[in-house]
Amino acid sequence: MSGIGTNPSPSKGADVITSKAFCIIGNPIEQSLSPLMQNAAFKHVNLNYSYIAFKVPADELQGAVESMRKISIAGFNVTIPHKVEIVKLLDKLSNEAMIAGSVNTVSNENGLLVGYNTDIDGILEPIEKRISSFEGLNVLILGAGGSCRAALVGLARKKGINSISIFNRDQTKLNNVITLGRELKLNCIPFRFEDTAKLSQVSKNSGLILNTTSIGLQGEKSPIELDFIRKDAIVFDIVYKPINTDLLEKAKKTGAKIIFGYEMLLSQGYKAFEIWTGMKAPREVMKQALFGIFGEPK
Ligand SMILES: NC(=O)c1ccc[n+]([C@@H]2O[C@H](COP(=O)([O-])OP(=O)(O)OC[C@H]3O[C@@H](n4cnc5c(N)ncnc54)[C@H](OP(=O)(O)O)[C@@H]3O)[C@@H](O)[C@H]2O)c1
């Protein structure tokens, strides 16, 4: 067998079977759908690559990265709780990963571990499918963690956004994302998460509502009330399990357009596949791997 991760692209030499190993690290990790999606994609394009999930607790991250260097792993995804901590363990970062200060995709490029943030495209792409002009758009974001940072970097690619109101509990994290947004020349406004009256007022005025907190994961109710969601709004909940969160259910009732969390999962996965292989992601195959024969939920 040839050395893992050291051979040229197998698509160029039909008689050479190149094996490469990929993985995802995080904790918890059992629920990850990335192995399903990436393995289906590798198989479809005839790459002899495999992708598995490793549970890596926070205090074992450094050792895990060292081990992956030793086996010359070809690439890996990074999820909760490592997206920020991983940054200082890598050799190089893409420009946007550096700005976001977080990494969810690592590629072994000639022995160097290079960090990317494909959550940025993961969030922006489903939004771009629904909004052609961002001119004058008011955005409401719940949460100020890694996904909020990725959202801000993505939204900064768009011209004309009027305001981005961000609600969070932890004021230090909130201030940090506001600083990031302002550095990106976005008009970001901070709000205390507990200020429900302001939340309703801002919600009523927002054309795009984005939940980047984990509210909904355990079936919790969203603090955004149905009566304050505009029917011409776009409502995006990045929580993908359950597929229909309380926020999305409310949005559907008002007639607003919704974006499911799995759309981010898919888009960030397409981008990671493309970074690792240099090939176009087989999008339908990856989608089917998630939804099986039942198709995309509505
Ligand atoms: N669809 C996808 O592909 C995808 C990708 C990445 C993440 N996600 C999901 O998105 C969520 C956030 O991920 P992340 O990486 O951004 O996490 P993170 O960096 O840990 O940030 C989480 C944010 O959510 C807030 N939060 C958490 N629980 C809350 C609660 N009960 N009430 C109010 N605020 C709460 C936190 O507020 P404080 O600062 O006050 O603690 C923080 O701002 C996770 O549930 C994750 O599963 C989905």
User: Average pLDDT by consecutive 10-residue portion of the chain (298 residues)?
Assistant: 40 65 96 96 97 97 97 96 95 97 97 98 97 96 95 97 98 97 97 98 98 95 97 96 96 97 97 98 96 78
Candidates 12, 70, 83, 204; catalytic one? 83
CB 46 within 8 A of CB 14: no
Name the DSSP class of 145: S
Residue 222: give its domain's CATH number. 3.40.50.720
99 and 192 together in one domain = no
Distance from the CA of 130 to the center of ligand 1, in angstroms? 23
- Does 285 map to a domain? yes
164 and 275 together in one domain = no
- Does 48 map to a domain? yes
- Looking at residue 293, its pLDDT comes to 67
200 and 253 together in one domain = yes
Q: Residue written as tokens 């996904």?
A: 147
- Looking at residue 298, its pLDDT comes to 74
Give per-residue burial for 166-175: e unless 16+ CB within 10 Å, then b: bbbeeeebbe
124 and 113 together in one domain = no
112 and 207 together in one domain = no
27 and 107 together in one domain = yes
CB 26 within 8 A of CB 55: yes
- Does 4 map to a domain? no
- Looking at residue 8, its pLDDT comes to 44
- Does 131 map to a domain? yes
- Looking at residue 292, its pLDDT comes to 83
185 and 67 together in one domain = no
CB 75 within 8 A of CB 6: no
Residues 6+ apart with CB under 8 A from 122: 150, 264, 265, 266, 267, 268, 269, 271
Residue 128: Cβ-neighbour burial (10 angstroms; 0-12, 13-18, 19+): middle
Task: Find the domain containing 57 and state its range.
Answer: 10-117+264-294
CB 118 within 8 A of CB 105: yes
Distance from the CA of 212 to the center of ligand 1, in angstroms? 5
What domain count does the chain have?
A: 2
96 and 200 together in one domain = no
Among 104, 118, 123, smallest CA distance to 263 is for 123
124 and 252 together in one domain = yes
Residue 133: Cβ-neighbour burial (10 angstroms; 0-12, 13-18, 19+): exposed
Residue 38: give its domain's CATH number. 3.40.50.10860
- Does 74 map to a domain? yes
- Does 246 map to a domain? yes
Give the closest residue (by CA) to ligand 1 atom 26: 213
- Does 101 map to a domain? yes
The residue to mutate among 212, 241, 262, 264, having the most atoms of ligand 1 within 8 angstroms of its beta carbon, is 212
146 and 252 together in one domain = yes
* CA–CA separation, 108 and 276 (whole Å): 8
- Does 205 map to a domain? yes
217 and 110 together in one domain = no
- Looking at residue 296, its pLDDT comes to 80
Among 128, 153, 118, smallest CA distance to 208 is for 128
Q: Can 198 be counted among the known catalytic residues?
A: no
CA end-to-end distance (rounded Å), the chain: 45
Distance from the CA of 232 to the center of ligand 1, in angstroms? 26
Residues 6+ apart with CB under 8 A from 223: 142, 193, 196, 199, 215
The residue to mutate among 147, 239, 263, 264, having the most atoms of ligand 1 within 8 angstroms of its beta carbon, is 147
Give the closest residue (by CA) to ligand 1 atom 21: 145
233 and 132 together in one domain = yes
